[in-house]
A and B are shown apart, each in its own frame.
Chain A
């Protein structure tokens, strides 16, 4: 073969091997997760696994408080980050003058790069005492504090993606709204934001994915008590999430024990939840696209 054909062939093969291997690694991780996690569902009876008490030392593996803990913290984070994030995106795209947008957008994106442990530290030393004093509670390490920190972590993603979605709305929609005698605010709220709906939904889902999978910051600020968040004041009590449980206990668990497998089992549950979230988001976006709304 001609030497140039050879280099061409070599480069192509290299790219192919690299691409396939990254798919292979993801698959292997997934298989490992299944291999280590599935025994938990066989070894521990479902009524124990779905119980309300998480005391691994007494063979009580109730994951319900952990699942609910994760959901509570994530829901709190999203209910703070969604309105704030969308409002900020609207401000950056629709209200702020051009030069301010040029400055704000990269600044917001840089915020996404702050390591979670730094935010956790900030939450621990600043937010938690603030929450404790404001609420006059015994501890500031609560689900709410975790929600605040997670909201902060999800915000840059939500703002950035939502701003892109708003930016993709054709100018002709804005013109039409304004030419009808709608105010700028009415045009934004009733035309531009609905037109960017699917993009904003993606933004929220990405933010949510980040929040539910976050470990370090959550572990540092939520207090990590595996109690059922079923009372009204649960939001302002300590809570323990799935991720924090895995991170905190994996280091000390005996390899191959039931407890070990249950921790991987929690990993599977977490995986399923995020997978479903992504599926729902993708489904909503796909439906929208087929209607021809994404132009």
Chain B
């Protein structure tokens, strides 16, 4: 399988402080790649390098290359707005806009001008909400304020909002850390379904979650990628002592 994203010797700095050290990895198309590691190990920073969200933080610097379908997303002249449409992101805390449910999902198609006319927009909204299995719960209250939904519903809404613009890759930054276990299972089911259409990269500090949902797992430690491989291998036959210690709970 060809890599959807290839990262070459990526280093990242917050001012003088180096947060990522020479990271290289391949992210396969239509697979779920989980990035695990203790807090502060750089996995979220790495994730945010993939859609250039770190550009919004002043004083940061990056070395190396991130190739999306072979194109360096940090090359001069790259359309960052288009990149972020192709590489969507779901955040740690559900962050729907303080607007109606409909407007939340319609936001992307509207700003990107993807739909012609109201009918098409309504179709996209319905399809996106169905994809995250939220449609039946909200179809009668689309005008309701999104903030009145439960946290789990809000997070599904955020996922619906992302897939409404039909991205190629979805980055998820600890998408379940604010949610209870049952809702978390629902989101994991959702991820497995979305995997048929999208390339998913998920950052999680929950190793069971990584083991349950992902096809590939990368283990980060102090800004370095210690080990990366098929999830089964990483969890059952880790190549590195550090990985084994972390997974078995002796380190981290």
Point out residues on A near B: beta carbons under 8 Å: 98, 170, 172-183, 186, 190-191, 194-195, 291-293, 295
Q: In the complex, which residues of chain A have a beta carbon less than 8 angstroms from the beta carbon of B95?
A: 170, 172-173, 175-176
B85 close to A181 (CB less than 8 A)? yes
Contact of B93 among A172, A182, A291, A293 (CB under 8 A): A172
Which of B51-59, B69-77, B117-125, B184-192 sits within the interface?
Answer: B51-59
Roughly how many angstroms separate A60 CA and B162 CA in the complex, as a whole number? Answer: 67
B91 close to A175 (CB less than 8 A)? yes
Q: In the complex, which residues of chain B have a beta carbon less than 8 angstroms from the beta carbon of A174?
A: 56
Interface set, chain B 53-109, CB cutoff 8 A to A: 53, 56, 58, 81-86, 88-89, 91, 93, 95-99, 107-108
Roughly how many angstroms separate A183 CA and B82 CA in the complex, as a whole number? Answer: 9
Contact of B81 among A172, A183, A295 (CB under 8 A): A183
A180 close to B145 (CB less than 8 A)? no
Q: In the complex, which residues of chain A have a beta carbon less than 8 angstroms from the beta carbon of B82?
A: 181
Classify chain B's interface size: 20 to 34
Q: In the complex, which residues of chain A have a beta carbon less than 8 angstroms from the beta carbon of B86?
A: 181
Given A172-B93, A195-B97, A195-B98, the answer on whether A179 and B51 have CB atoms closer than 8 Å is: yes
B81 close to A181 (CB less than 8 A)? yes
Q: How far is the CB of B108 from chain A (nearest CB, A)?
A: 5
Contact of B145 among A176, A183, A291 (CB under 8 A): A291
Which residue of chain A lies nearest to B164 when distances are taken between CB atoms in the complex?
A180
Q: In the complex, which residues of chain B have a beta carbon less than 8 angstroms from the beta carbon of A194?
A: 97-99
Q: Is B239 interfacial (CB-CB < 8 Å)? A: no
Q: Is B6 interfacial (CB-CB < 8 Å)? A: no
Interface set, chain B 92-148, CB cutoff 8 A to A: 93, 95-99, 107-108, 110-112, 145, 147-148
Given A175-B95, A180-B165, the answer on whether A186 and B111 have CB atoms closer than 8 Å is: yes
- List the 7 closest pairs (A to B, CB-CB), nearest first: A181-B85, A172-B95, A179-B89, A181-B84, A182-B111, A186-B111, A293-B98
Q: Is B158 interfacial (CB-CB < 8 Å)? A: yes
Roughly how many angstroms separate A191 CA and B99 CA in the complex, as a whole number? Answer: 9
B84 close to A180 (CB less than 8 A)? yes
Q: In the complex, which residues of chain B have a beta carbon less than 8 angstroms from the beta carbon of A176?
A: 91, 95-97, 158, 161
Q: In the complex, which residues of chain A have a beta carbon less than 8 angstroms from the beta carbon of B98?
A: 173, 194-195, 293, 295
A180 close to B162 (CB less than 8 A)? yes
A293 close to B84 (CB less than 8 A)? no
B165 close to A179 (CB less than 8 A)? no
Q: In the complex, which residues of chain A have a beta carbon less than 8 angstroms from the beta carbon of B110?
A: 190
Which residue of chain B lies nearest to A182 when distances are taken between CB atoms in the complex?
B111
Roughly how many angstroms separate A191 CA and B98 CA in the complex, as a whole number? Answer: 8
Roughly how many angstroms separate A181 CA and B83 CA in the complex, as a whole number? Answer: 7
Q: In the complex, which residues of chain B have a beta carbon less than 8 angstroms from the beta carbon of A181?
A: 81-86, 88, 108, 111-112, 165
Which residue of chain B lies nearest to A187 when distances are taken between CB atoms in the complex?
B111
Given A291-B147, A292-B148, the answer on whether A173 and B97 have CB atoms closer than 8 Å is: yes
Q: How far is the CB of A171 from chain B (nearest CB, A)?
A: 9
Q: In the complex, which residues of chain A have a beta carbon less than 8 angstroms from the beta carbon of B58?
A: 98
Given A181-B82, A293-B147, the answer on whether A172 and B111 have CB atoms closer than 8 Å is: no
Which residue of chain A lies nearest to B79 when distances are taken between CB atoms in the complex?
A181
Roughly how many angstroms separate A91 CA and B82 CA in the complex, as a whole number? Answer: 24
Which residue of chain B lies nearest to A97 when distances are taken between CB atoms in the complex?
B58
Q: In the complex, which residues of chain A have a beta carbon less than 8 angstroms from the beta carbon of B161?
A: 176, 180
A178 close to B53 (CB less than 8 A)? yes
Q: How far is the CB of A216 from chain B (nearest CB, A)?
A: 41
Q: In the complex, which residues of chain A have a beta carbon less than 8 angstroms from the beta carbon of B93?
A: 172
Q: In the complex, which residues of chain A have a beta carbon less than 8 angstroms from the beta carbon of B162?
A: 179-180
Q: How far is the CB of B47 from chain A (nearest CB, A)?
A: 11
Q: In the complex, which residues of chain B have a beta carbon less than 8 angstroms from the beta carbon of A170?
A: 95
Q: In the complex, which residues of chain A have a beta carbon less than 8 angstroms from the beta carbon of B91?
A: 172, 175-176, 179
Q: How far is the CB of B68 from chain A (nearest CB, A)?
A: 14
B56 close to A190 (CB less than 8 A)? no
B81 close to A179 (CB less than 8 A)? no
Roughly how many angstroms separate A182 CA and B88 CA in the complex, as a whole number? Answer: 11
Roughly how many angstroms separate A174 CA and B93 CA in the complex, as a whole number? Answer: 13
Which residue of chain A lies nearest to B161 when distances are taken between CB atoms in the complex?
A180
Point out which of B83, B95, B158 has the most chain A C-beta atoms below 10 A from its C-beta: B95
Q: In the complex, which residues of chain B have a beta carbon less than 8 angstroms from the beta carbon of A292?
A: 145, 147-148
**Sample of 12 more A-B contacts, CB < 8 Å, known A176-B95, A180-B108, A182-B108:** A170-B95, A175-B53, A175-B95, A179-B89, A179-B162, A180-B162, A181-B83, A181-B111, A186-B111, A191-B97, A195-B98, A292-B148
